[in-house]
Amino acid sequence: MSGGPKPGFTPTQGQYLAFIDAYTRVNLRPPAQADIQHRFGVTPPSVHQMILTLERAGLIRRQPGASRSIEVLVPPEQLPVLEMPDQPVKTSVPRY
């Protein structure tokens, strides 16, 4: 175990931060709130509340009035590993 300081966010907040960071790296743009909602299986108000909480804590920054403007302010090496979703991935491909 590392003896460094503990991150200033909860495990759940860490997962949101890790998802936003990973999504941004893969898609070259931040996720929309709908993307976050889909990933975590929560309601739109829950996503909005988490975004506000992360912003107030200084963990992310957004541009007022701009969509997909979430920027993670935590250094990547301090983010937790993004965990797999609990529910199986839904697919439209039939299984035989």
Residue 17: closest CA among 61, 64, 65: 61
pTM: 0.81
Give the start-end residues of each E strand in the chain: 60-61, 71-72
d(CA 44, CA 63): 19
Q: What is the pLDDT of residue 1?
A: 43
d(CA 83, CA 93): 24
Write the class of the CATH domain 11-77: mainly alpha
Residues 6+ apart with CB under 8 A from 89: none
Q: What is the pLDDT along the chain (96 residues), one digit of tens a residue?
A: 444 445 689 999 999 999 999 999 999 999 999 999 999 999 999 999 999 999 999 999 999 888 899 999 999 999 999 998 765 555 555 555
- Domain parsing of the chain, residue ranges: 11-77
